[in-house]
Structure 1
Amino acid sequence: MELKFDRLTKQFGNKIAVDRMDVILQPGVYGLLGANGAGKTTLMRMVCGVLNPTSGDILLDGYDIDTLGENYRKLIGYLPQDFGYYPDFTAKEFMHYVSALKGIDKKSAKLKTKELLDLVGLSEVANKKIRTFSGGMKQRLGIAQAVLNDPKILVLDEPTAGLDPKERIRFRNLISSFSKDKIVILSTHIVSDIEYIADTILMMKGGQIIINSPSEGVTKEIDKKVWRCRVPQNKVDIVSSKYRVVNLQHEDNNEVSLRIVSDTKPDENAINVDPTLEDLFLYHFDDMVSL
């Protein structure tokens, strides 16, 4: 299976959200990183057929998805950034409702609902109304509905935003369990959410993919560009104004330990340290995000 973006472009008035993108995706987990406004959600909506491109094509195994029509939509599972649910439905009722929308027969829907609610840890609250659920429980229900039709292409847009660390870890494990033989696109600006599960890192900026690399070794670009040094407390602001400071930690002797991403050595006492995906993200987006 191959999903191809061929000079894919989406423009809203004078703003180009996705700009002549050329990417080929095959089964695996793709972590789509980018700051807010990078074009991630627009891209996801085009993949799911919610938005039409201004120009360019999305091809599945060489066939335009518009031509494939319903046959393509049957292969899609989608958890949008703002997941809509009916608060007075129970989890089971909601799953049956989504099953009907996806054309799944009642017998299969009943079996699949039981299987998936158990898998996402909601079997004990299957008959509880969704309005009583925590944010994490709602997100787990969201991924359950997304995979009801056993999709070949699973699209998850900011799925862990607002979740506590424990729920985020559980959610990442769920995504991994669903990823076999599928193209999974996980769009987020939370670096740690994809650091452990993505096979490939796609980094998006200004509507274009600026990095398309296997997760292993993706940080080679900034080898010898991540530094650690100690500076007096009164020099922190000066250093921060000149360099990308990824992290700072106050020491007992009125000094501050700084982690810096820089093409050049920021201080005579600075030493190189191993780069992380977060370092790489800040290297490209320090002008667009704040820690």
Structure 2
Amino acid sequence: MELQLQNLRRQYGTKCAVDNVSIHFKPGVYGLLGANGAGKTTLMRMICGVLKPTSGSILLDGKTMQELGERYYTHLGYMPQDFGFYPDFTAREFMLYMAAVKGLDKKSAKARTEELLKLVNLCDVADKKIKSYSGGMKQRLGIAQAELNDPDILILDEPTAGLDPKERVRFRNIISDFAKDKIVILSTHIVSDVSYISDIILMMKQGKIVLQGPMETITNSIQGKVWEVMVDERKAAQYSRNLHVVNLHHEGNLVRLRIVDDAAPAPDASIVEPSLEDLFLYHFSEDVQNERSDDDENLD
């Protein structure tokens, strides 16, 4: 199974949400990482046929979406960022309804529903109404419905957003179980989620893929650009205003800073091994700062 995006572009008026993206997917887990507004959701909606590209092509095993027609969608499982549930349905009723929408016969629908509810640990609450579910339970139900037709391509848009750490770990494990022999594309701005389960990292910024590579080598591009330094509190405040500080830890009267920068922030700064979080900040520090500013404005 091979999914190809060729020069994919999506324009909204003068704004280009996805700008000339070309990617070749084979079975594995792809972590699509970027700040909010980077174009991740638009890209996924085009892959799923929800949005039509302004230009470019999407091919599955060498055939375009247009050539495949409805057959293309039989290979897809999609969990959108804002998944619409029927609150008065039980989980079992909802799964059987979605199975009918996807064209499963009654016998297959029932068997697949029970199998997936067990897999996502919802059997004990399968006959309770969805409106009584926690956020984590709804997310697990969301991925279960995406798997109903046993798709070759699983698209998950911000699947762990809003979950507590325990639920996020559980959800990542579920995704790993589903990922065997599939193309799994996982979109998120939560760095730790993709670092644990992704084979390939795709970094998206302003509609473009700015970096892609295997998880084990993706941080090589910032070798020699991550530093640690011990400073007093006054200096720490100054560095935090002017440099990309990834982490700050008070140790007695001093502060240990982890900084991402092309040049040493101080003569006594030491180089340390980069992490995916360092790489994210290196590419997206301005976007992250803008998100924080927007959040501050919303609190006013």
Q: Same fold (TM over 0.5)?
A: yes
Whichever residue aligns with residue 153 of structure 2, its letter is I
Secondary structure class of the residue paired with 2:286: coil
Deviation at 1:273, TM superposition (A): 1.1
The runs of 5 or more residues in structure 2 that have no matched partner are 293-300
Secondary structure in structure 1 of the residue aligned to 2:288: coil
Partner of 1:209: 209
Q: Secondary structure at the match of 2:89?
A: coil
How far is the alpha carbon of 1:236 from its aligned partner?
Answer: 1.9
Match of 2:279 in 1: 280
- In structure 2, C-alpha distance between the alignment counterparts of 1:66 and 1:188, rounded to whole Å: 29
AA partner of residue 8 (structure 2): L
Mapping of residues 60-79 of structure 1, within 5 Å: 60-79=60-79
Deviates more, 1:12-21 or 1:239-248: 239-248
In structure 2, distance between residues paired with 1:249 and 1:238:
15
Please state how far the C-alpha of 1:227 moved relative to its aligned partner. Answer: 0.6
Residue 21 of structure 1 corresponds to 21
Measure how far apart 1:68 and its partner are: 0.9
CA distance in 2, matches of 1:237, 1:58: 48
Tell me the SS of whatever aligns to 2:30: strand
Shift of 1:249: 1.0
**Structure 1 range deviating more: 229-238 or 20-29:** 229-238
Kindly provide the amino acid, as one letter, of the partner of residue 93 in structure 2. E
SS at match of 1:148: coil
> What does residue 35 of structure 1 align with?
35
Q: Report the 3-state secondary structure (helix = DSSP H, G, I; strand = E; otherwise coil) of the residue aligned with 2:186.
A: strand
Structure 2 residue identity aligned to 1:124: D
Does residue 115 in structure 1 map to residue 115 in structure 2? yes
Query: For residue 56 of structure 1, what is the aligned residue in structure 2?
Result: 56
The separation in 2 between residues aligned to 1:66 and 1:40, in whole angstroms, is: 23
Q: Distance in 1 between matches of 2:241 and 2:162?
A: 30
- Quick one: which amino acid aligns to residue 158 of structure 1? E
| Matches of 1:240 and 1:4, distance apart in 2 | 42
Q: Distance in 2 between matches of 1:117 and 1:194?
A: 24
Matched AA of 2:55: S
Instruction: Flag structure 1 segments of 5+ consecutive residues without an equivalent.
Output: none
Matched AA of 1:140? R
- Secondary structure of the corresponding residue to residue 174 of structure 2: helix
Q: Structure 1: which amino acid aligns with 2:266? A: D
Q: Structure 1: which 4+ aligned runs deviate by more than 6 Å?
A: none
| Distance (whole Å) between structure 2 residues aligned to residue 66 and residue 99 of structure 1 | 24
Q: Aligned equivalents of 1:112 and 1:23: distance in 2?
A: 32
What SS does the aligned partner of 1:18 have? strand
- The Cα shift of 1:237 comes to 2.5
Deviations 1:36-59 (Å, cap 9, x if unpaired)?
Answer: 110000000000000000000011
Q: CA RMSD in A?
A: 0.9
**1:150-194 Cα shifts (integer Å, max 9, x gaps):** 000000000000000000000000000000111000000000011
Q: State the partner residue of 2:258.
A: 259
Deviations 1:101-155 (A, max 9, x none): 0000111000000000000000011101101110000000000000000000000
Compare the two structures and name the one with the higher helix fraction.
Answer: 2
Aligned to 2:166: 166
Cα distance in 2 between the residues matched to 1:83 and 1:108: 24
The one-letter code sitting in structure 1 at the alignment partner of 2:146 is A
Q: Deviations over 1:67-118 (max 9, x none)?
A: 2111000110000000110110000000000001000011100000000000
The alpha-carbon deviation at position 256 of structure 1 amounts to 1.2
What is the one-letter code of the residue matched to 1:115?
E
Pairwise mapping of residues 187-202 of structure 1 onto structure 2 (< 5 A)? 187-202=187-202
Q: How many angstroms apart in 2 are the aligned matches of 1:83 and 1:219?
A: 33
1:242 Cα deviation from its structure 2 partner = 2.7
- Please identify, of 231-240 and 10-19, the stretch whose mean Cα deviation from structure 2 is larger: 231-240
Structure 2 counterpart of 1:258, one-letter code: L
Residue 176, structure 1, aligned to residue 200, structure 2: no
Partner of 2:133: 133
Instruction: Please name the residue that 1:220 is paired with.
Output: 220
- State the Cα distance separating 1:206 from its structure 2 match: 1.1
Query: Which residue identity is paired with 2:104?
Result: I
Q: What SS does structure 2 have at the residue aligned with 1:85?
A: coil
**CA–CA separation in structure 1 for the residues paired with 2:47 and 2:277:** 26
